[in-house]
Amino acid sequence: MRGRLGYASGATLLYFTGGFTYGGIEKVTNAYGLYFRDAKLDAFATGYVLGGGLEHKLTPNWSLKAEYQYLNFGTNDVCASPAYQCFGASNPIKDDDYHTVRLGLNYHVNSGFESLK
C-alpha cells in the first residue's frame, strides 16, 4: 500500500511515493558457504517503500510514467533462526533491501474527471 504526493504542472506530475510493503523472502545456502549445512529461510516479511516518479499525460486516456522505488524488509537472516547453527566470523547481518525502476503505460478509465485547481 502506497500513497503519492506530488506537484502537477500542465500534463506532467512529479511525485514522491511511500508506504507499507510485504512479500516473501527466500534464502538458500549450501555447505560450501558460511553455513555448516544446507539451510533455507522461507519467510513472510514486511517493511517500507520509498521512491519517486514522473508521470506525463499523453492523451486524455493514456499516460506514461517512470518510477524508482527503494524497498526495505528489515533483517531476515538464516543465522537468526534458532533451527540453524551458523559458523564463520564473516557472517554479516544485513537488511533485505531492493531497488527497482519501473516504466509504465497507463490507461485511465473514465478520464472525464479533472482534479480541483
Rounded (10°) CA dihedral 101, 106, 108, 113 = 50
C-alpha dist (Å) from residue 92 to 46, 77, 88: 21, 9, 10
Residues 45 and 21 sit within 8 Å (Cβ to Cβ): no
pLDDT confidence of residue 110: 79
pLDDT confidence of residue 82: 52
Q: How many CB atoms lie within 10 A of CB 116?
A: 3
pLDDT band at 94 (very low <50, low <70, confident <90, very high): low
The pTM is what? 0.69
More confident residue, 22 or 26: 22
Q: Say if residue 87's pLDDT is above 80.
A: no
